[in-house]
Amino acid sequence: MAIKTGDRLPDATFLIFDDESGPGEVQLREKLEGRKVVIFGLPGAYTRTCTAAHMPSFVRNADALREKGIDEIICISVNDPFVLAQWGKDTGAAEAGITILGDSAAEYSKAIGMSFTAPPVGFYDRSKRYAMVVEDGVVLTLDEDEPGTCNTSGGEYILSTL
């Protein structure tokens, strides 16, 4: 069953890579408790729409989102933490302060009903393209895009909803 507005997000363990400490784990619960965050999910690092549209929309709007009361911007992708760390540098996300978490086995994406498979393009158990505003672990808004598009899950749109 897909997560929806008003639901509490389940806890999960994600992977992250830091140049100083290497790979590590992050508990989602710790990122959400008492905070207002934007979480956006996407199919994968270095894929066309993710790299050319989705991530750049949040890089462009990171400061404006924080000015509207967002404590943290979190990207969830079905990739390993090493690839995500480099992608964060290449896209400017790291410099913009966007946290990129690896859902390497798509366990979280499946748990919240936001996974899909598209064999013609080599996508197996990937995250759908979505964005949500979450306060203290509860989904305030949730927007999902059609495959190949980045409209209601992009940074500009999420900013317009705050």
Residue 104 tokens, joined: 């390497």
The residue among 34, 61, 68 whose CA lies nearest residue 162 is 68
CA angle 70/72/78 to nearest 5° reads: 130
How does DSSP classify residue 26? E
Establish whether 75 is a catalytic residue. Answer: no
Angle between helices 81-91 and 55-67 in degrees, nearest 10: 70
| Start-to-end Cα distance in the chain | 26
CA distance 108 to 47: 20
Catalytic one of 38, 42, 50, 106 = 50
Residues labelled catalytic: 50
